[in-house]
Amino acid sequence: MTDTLRTFGLFALVALLIIGTGVLQSWNSALIILNMGLISAIMSLGVNLQWGYAGLFNVGVMGFVALGGLATVLISVPPVGEAWAAGGLRVLLALVLGAATIVAAVLVRSRMAPGAARGLAMTAVLILGFFIYRAVFDPGVAAIESVNPAATGFLGGLGLPVLLAWPVGGLLAAGAAWLIGKTALGLRSDYLAIATLGIAEIVIAILKNEDWLSRGVKNVSGLPRPVPYEIDLQNDPAFVARAGEMGLDATTASTLYVKTGYSILFAVVLIVLLVLAQLALKSPWGRMMRAIRDNETAARAMGKDVTARHLQVFVLGSAICGVAGAMMTTLDGQLTPGTYQPLRYTFLIWVMVIVGGSGNNFGAVLGGFLIWFLWVQVEPVGQLLMSGITAGMAEDSALRAHLLDSVAHMRLLTMGLVLLLVLRFSPRGLLPER
Amino acid sequence: MDFLNAIVALSNFVLIPAIAYGSQLALGALGVTLIYGILRFSNFAHGDTMAFGTMATILVTLAFQAAGLSLGPLPTALLALPFGIAACAALLIATDRVVYRFYRAQRVVPVILVIVSMGVMFVYNGIVRFIIGPDDQRFADGERFIISAREFRNLTGLDEGLALRTTQGITVITAVVVVALLFWFLNHTRTGKSMRAYSDNEDLALLSGINPERVVLYTWLIVAALATVAGTLYGLDKSFKPFTYFQLLLPIFAAAIVGGLGSPLGAIAGGFVIAFSEVMITYAWKKVLGYMLPESLAPDGLVQLLSTDYKFAVSFVILLIVLLFRPTGLFRGKAV
């Protein structure tokens, strides 16, 4: 009973914090925090699935989130016909050839007897395949990128409804997770950590450099939205009249309306995933996962296929991160590969899971909201604190200017301290696993 | 003549930069591997430790420059290095006392220590950005070149120039000196031997009366020196930016794992393997091939295997290959 009470109390606290922001600052900022909080909660639910259920140490969250973002572009942006005509098929063919090369190398490895001949044959296949791939690939890319580079210069997407991108983002992330899990999962936990850290950097490098796919650092902006545009609402007399009845001007009412629309969509996804995660945890499957986490050898002796189960849960958790990534890009309305940073998209999610309580889904969700709130609000509070500290100093003091400039970096310091304090004094998090 | 030109071009654009970068990675990987061997966890805060040590060195360098102190043709940063190491050591030992010691006493599983080091990483990162800001810092001074491309061309009469920057020369010399000192320390002093014993078999070492706290203290001191030297050399060679140092974590870990975690020799080998593959795969070979091949075969394109932005992919792929085919690394590291 006390557990339920504690959960309830802490979630009430989060609600109070967000409502407090609405009253003290503005409802607009409260909704911004709520929306990103919902997305963060979904991400930490995914990490909790991997770490809390199965003890898998994934520090590549950023990569899966970015893949979700890419899915949004690939699904919702209308196709660029001219670019497809210029080199679309050629690039696709090159990708097929690249995949065929790898398959051929794997076949050589499995068919030939071990020895120097096999090594040479594999190397030859790989090198030859690489050059053929580049010979087909490069002209296609050049053709696509030269099609109106200021506005498009990429293949575009499928022009489908943007909501479809969310499950597809999950699928894309799941595919990547399967590949990485297949290679790195049988190994030690540290190795998985480094491997996932690497795959995340590679995904970001691809998004930044493959302009034909994602426009790279030129960003894709103006993505379609699942909710109406503010300007359309403001031009709708019925909406303006209704806003007037509630005592709001049309501009404020339209931004609040749009943000609330997003909140509802995100909340639906979060609730569905939370229910599923809770059901999974309480099922025989969930008990098996925890048994594997607590004692792999014993679980293996009971006939459980530990590697396969690890792969399964790794793929599922990454898929959830991909869904969250697609949702985030939809919310932003643009894909900006330059803004993905591991501290923000990987390690911050880890702070959420650890602080919230790993192994407890409600804990992960709570951590998502709480840490996101802190991440946003540390800056204004730090600003206040710093102006208090520096109030006594001379106007033109260099130290004062430096301190005021540095407020932005208080965030990282605070997050680190929060993580260290929780690990030290409440290592199982705010809502411990039951 | 063409053959000589090809060799000079190769040295100028591939060999010299790769040797300098490899030395920096090797020093970083040595720190990671020592922590892994003695304290038994992968330290995610290592990149930021390097950033902190470098930052301290830069601040002292700036103070020296303001005071008019200099080493003549050598960068002033070398003079400031001991102060940077001292500051870094103070920080690491304070962190150990406040944070890590508690978990060591509890004998927690290594992965918890990794998560703890993630928290430490955030804190260091915040401190560094707080003190020096997130921007680029250039602090190399003194003579820029040992030999510049123009001098080399005049000297030899070749078409290709060979530039050897002072920072590259200093990097290699410093790295050799530091590594020699480290191996002498590990193999010939009482403390070094007890460190190796502790790394090989903790229980047996404790039984023979080795004081674990002393071993840990010395480890942090050595790690502080290695991290600060590696960071300062990297900063002199390229430039100092906190975020770049955080990103160095990946090639450094790749180097340590490729060499075999826990093996100092492996860390050095791994550093050079990673550096050479990164530079060679992202270098545009047009010039070298142009000299080597007959005119009819000379390539039209840049002959660059991958764009430089994919250098992380290179360390990663090498890492994967080693993990798949030889999981303990080239030099048989330990597996916990």
Residues of A in contact with B45 (CB under 8 A): none
Which residues does chain A have within 8 Å of residue B124's beta carbon, measured at their own beta carbons?
416
**Residue A364 confidence (pLDDT):** 95
**What is the DSSP code (8-state) at residue A186?**
T
Check B112 against A209: CB less than 8 A apart.
Answer: no
| Percent of chain A whose predicted confidence (pLDDT) is above 90 | 60
**Residues B242, B51 contacting (CB under 8 angstroms):** yes
CB contact under 8 A, A197 and B125: no
Question: How much is the pLDDT for A118?
Answer: 87
Q: What is the mean pLDDT of residues A136-142?
A: 89
Kindly state whether B293 is in contact with chain A, defined as any CB-CB distance less than 8 angstroms: no
**What domains can be seen in chain B, in order of their start residue?**
2-325 (1.10.3470)
Q: What is the 3-state secondary structure (H, E, C) of A35-59?
A: HHHHHHHHHHHHHHHHHHHHCCCCC
Residues B122, A198: C-beta atoms closer than 8 Å: no
Residue A340 touches partner B, C-beta closer than 8 Å: no
pLDDT at A406: 81
Partner-chain contact B119 A205, CB within 8 Å: no
Q: Is B114 on the interface with A (CB under 8 A)?
A: yes
Q: Name, in order, each residue with C-beta under 8 angstroms of B100's C-beta and a sequence gap of 6 or more.
A: B39, B113, B116
Residue A72's nearest CA partner among A159, A153, A141 is A159
Residue B102 in tokens: 């508690």
The answer to whether A416 faces chain B, any CB pair under 8 Å, is yes
CA separation for the pair B285, B19 (Å, rounded): 18
Q: Which of A184, A414, A423 sits opposite B116 (nearest CB)?
A: A423
Q: Is A423 on the interface with B (CB under 8 A)?
A: yes
Report residue A425 as tokens: 């004094």
Closest CA to B99 of A138, A422, A96, A92: A422
Residues of B in contact with A351 (CB under 8 A): 119, 122
Q: Give me the mean pLDDT over the A290-304 stretch.
A: 92
- B129 in A contact zone (CB under 8 Å): yes
Contacts of B121 in chain A (CB under 8 A): 347, 416
Query: Which pLDDT value is given to residue B5?
Result: 85
Angle between helix axes A2-24 and A27-48 (nearest 10 degrees) is 150
Q: How far apart are CA A330 and CA A157, in angstroms?
A: 14
Beta-carbon contacts of B42 under 8 Å, excluding residues fewer than 6 positions away, are A190, A193, A194, B32, B35, B36, B110, B114, B117, B253, B261
Taking the C-alpha atoms of residue A433 and residue A430, their distance in angstroms, rounded to an integer, is: 10
Which of A51, A118, A379, A409 to substitute to test the interface with B, most B CBs within 10 Å?
A409
The CB density around residue B177, as the number of other CB atoms within 10 Å, is: 11
CA distance A311 to A188: 14
Q: What phi and psi, each to the nearest 5 degrees, are found at residue B304?
A: -100, 120
Give the range among A285-294, A371-380, A381-390 with minimum mean pLDDT.
A381-390
Q: What average pLDDT does range A20-42 have in this prediction?
A: 94
CA distance A52 to A47: 8
CB nearest to B324's CB, from A138, A183, A342: A183
Residues 6+ apart with CB under 8 A from B73: B142, B143, B166
Residue A238 reports pLDDT greater than 70: yes
CB pairs under 8 A between A and B: 129
3-class DSSP string for chain B: CHHHHHHHHHHHHHHHHHHHHHHHHHHHHHHHHHHHHHHCCCCCCHHHHHHHHHHHHHHHHHHHHHHCCCECCECCHHHHHHHHHHHHHHHHHHHHHHHHHHHHHHCCCHHHHHHHHHHHHHHHHHHHHHHHCCCCECCCCCCCEEECHHHHHHHHCCCCCCCEEHHHHHHHHHHHHHHHHHHHHHHHCHHHHHHHHHHHCHHHHHHCCCCHHHHHHHHHHHHHHHHHHHHHHHHHHCCECHHHHHHCHHHHHHHHHHHCCCCHHHHHHHHHHHHHHHHHHHCECHHHHHHHCCHHHCCCCCCECCCHHHHHHHHHHHHHHHHHHCCCCCCCCCCC
pLDDT in the model for residue B84? 97
* Integer angstrom CA distances of residue B139 from A375, B60, B142, B165, B277: 33, 11, 10, 15, 28
Report pLDDT for B309: 78
User: Rounded CA gap, B312 and A218, in Å?
Assistant: 21
- pLDDT at residue number B336: 43
Selection from B151, B146, B171, B169 nearest residue B161 by Cα: B151
Mind listing the pLDDT tens digit for each residue in B293-307?
777 777 777 777 778
The CATH topology of domain A2-79+156-425 is ABC transporter involved in vitamin B12 uptake, BtuC (1.10.3470)
Do the beta carbons of residue B59 and residue B129 sit within 8 Å? no
Neighbours of B176 (CB within 10 A): 11
Run of H or E residues at A220 = strand A220-221
pLDDT of residue B294: 78
Question: For chain B (length 336 residues), average pLDDT per consecutive 10?
Answer: 84 92 96 93 94 96 90 89 97 96 91 93 94 88 84 84 89 94 94 92 90 94 96 93 90 91 91 93 83 75 78 82 80 61
Q: What number of other Cβ atoms are within 10 A of residue A179's Cβ?
A: 12
- Does B118 contact A at CB distance below 8 Å? yes
B249 touches chain A (CB under 8 A): yes
Render pLDDT for A336-364 as a digit per residue (tens, 0 to 9). Answer: 998 999 889 999 999 999 999 888 999 99
Question: Is residue A106 helix, strand or coil?
Answer: helix
Interface contact B303, partner A, CB < 8 A: no
Determine contact: B125 vs chain A, CB below 8 A: yes
pLDDT, tens digit, 9 for 90 and up, residues A178-201: 988 888 887 777 788 888 888 898
CB A79 within 8 A of CB A158: yes
User: What pLDDT, on the 0 to 100 scale, is given for residue B333?
Assistant: 63
Q: Is A413 in CB contact (< 8 Å) with chain B?
A: yes
pLDDT of residue A257: 92
Is B247 in the A-facing interface, judged by CB distances under 8 Å?
yes
Q: Which two tokens stand for residue A45?
A: 């639910």
Domain ranges of chain A: 2-79+156-425, 80-155
Q: Does A389 touch chain B (CB under 8 A)?
A: no
- For A184-211, letters b (16+ CB in 10 Å) and e give bbbebebbbbbbbbbbbbbbbbbbbbbb
| B121 in A contact zone (CB under 8 Å) | yes
Q: What is the mean pLDDT of residues A149-175?
A: 91
For residue B302, give every residue at least 6 positions away whose Cβ sits within 8 Å of its Cβ, in sequence order, or none. B284, B285, B286
Quote the CA–CA distance of A124 and A421 in Å, as a whole number. Answer: 54
A 162-191 near B (Cβ less than 8 A): 183-184, 187-191
Residues in chain A: 434
Q: Do B126 and A209 touch (CB under 8 A)?
A: no
- Residue A3, pLDDT above cutoff 90: no
Q: Using CA atoms, how far apart are residues A261 and A251, in angstroms rounded to an integer? A: 16
Contact A416 B119 (CB under 8 A): yes
Q: Do the Cβ atoms of B319 and A198 come within 8 Å?
A: yes
Q: Smallest CA–CA separation between B57 and chain A, in Å? A: 19
Q: Is the model's pLDDT at A19 over the cut of 90?
A: yes
**Among A329, A309, A293, CA closest to A220:** A329
Compute how many other C-beta atoms are within 10 angstroms of the C-beta atom of residue A291: 15
- Give the C-alpha separation, A199 to A175, whole Å: 13
Mutate which of B32, B35, B104, B115 to disrupt the A interface (most A C-beta within 10 Å)? B115
Q: What is the pLDDT of residue A1?
A: 53
Q: Measured between alpha carbons, how far is residue A12 from residues A15, A135, A162, A230, B121 in Å?
A: 5, 60, 33, 31, 31
